[in-house]
Amino acid sequence: MEYKKIPPITEMKDAFSVKGYNVVVTGGNRGLGYGIASAFAESGANVAIVCRNKESGDEAAAKLAENGVRAACFSADISVYEEVKAAADGIFEFFDHVDVLVNNAGIDSPAHFLDEDGLSEWHRVINTNLHGPANMTYCIAPKMRDAGLGGSIINISSVGGFRVHSAKELAGSSYNASKAALDIFTRHMAIILGDYGIRVNGINPGPNLTDLSDNLPEGFTDMVDNELPAHRFGKPIEIGAFCVFLASPAASQIRGINCPHDGGLMLIQ
């Protein structure tokens, strides 16, 4: 086969530009996802949000469109393949092609694995955090491949995919397992899709104040303030800025990474 090679940048002009790109962000209606979607829209990219709450998604898309870009919401539970397929069909009617897919949507659970509902919660988390990105990639990546334009897929994982912390206090078995598996999926797809000029990378956020912060253990905020090298929580727009970089021409040689974006958490825990 003839491999698609993405040429290196030759100058800094537009090296970090994603202007005019067509971007899909799951869970883009709130939290980290909205920070990611906003970063792309503010950088001149068109954005399609995929989320379960259509009303919230439409409101988010309307705000994104204020940046002078095209934006829309497509409703789907990413854990359900049929819903993802229908959303993907709509996306490819809205966009003639997709340049970037950001698999961001994810959930956690307060249930410990051996609790009465622990196994059902395990499946619920795995279905969203691992099968969801697989469903999205399965429905979007082949058309990115066939378009012959290259592109970028970015999987939003977690530092929880690297290590187990406070396992007795935090009910994180399903979350940790899903993110560790997502990291391996990222590396695998980076090899498979690299032949077509599609780069696949992962970001592993650390402490960010989002909906998933509700389950933080007692004393964690004090640890962030006093021990974390950054001495603060991250902001969703910062994860968005990293996504914009990974999608830009400047990052064309970056493939298959799972990179912490954690304020230095991995240094101390």
Distance CA(84)–CA(140), nearest Å, equals 10
Burial of residue 113 (number of CB atoms within 10 Å: 0-12, 13-18, 19+) = middle
Q: Please report the beta strands in the chain, taking only residues with DSSP state E, as ranges in sequence order.
A: 22-26, 46-51, 71-75, 100-103, 151-156, 198-205, 258-261
Q: Of residues 21, 34, 175, 196, which has the active-site annotation?
A: 175
Beta carbons within 8 Å of 63's beta carbon, 6+ residues apart: 38
Other Cβ atoms less than 10 A from the Cβ of 200: the count is 27
The enclosing H or E element of 188 equals helix 173-194
- Local structure of residue 102 (DSSP, 8 states): E
Phi, psi angles (nearest 5°) of residue 50: -115, 120
Between CA 103 and CA 157, with CA 178 as vertex, the angle to 5 degrees is: 40
Structure tokens at 188: 């695998």
Burial of residue 249 (number of CB atoms within 10 Å: 0-12, 13-18, 19+) = middle
Task: Map tokens 């964690």 to a residue.
Answer: 220
Q: Reply yes or no on whether 175 is catalytic.
A: yes
Which positions are catalytic?
175
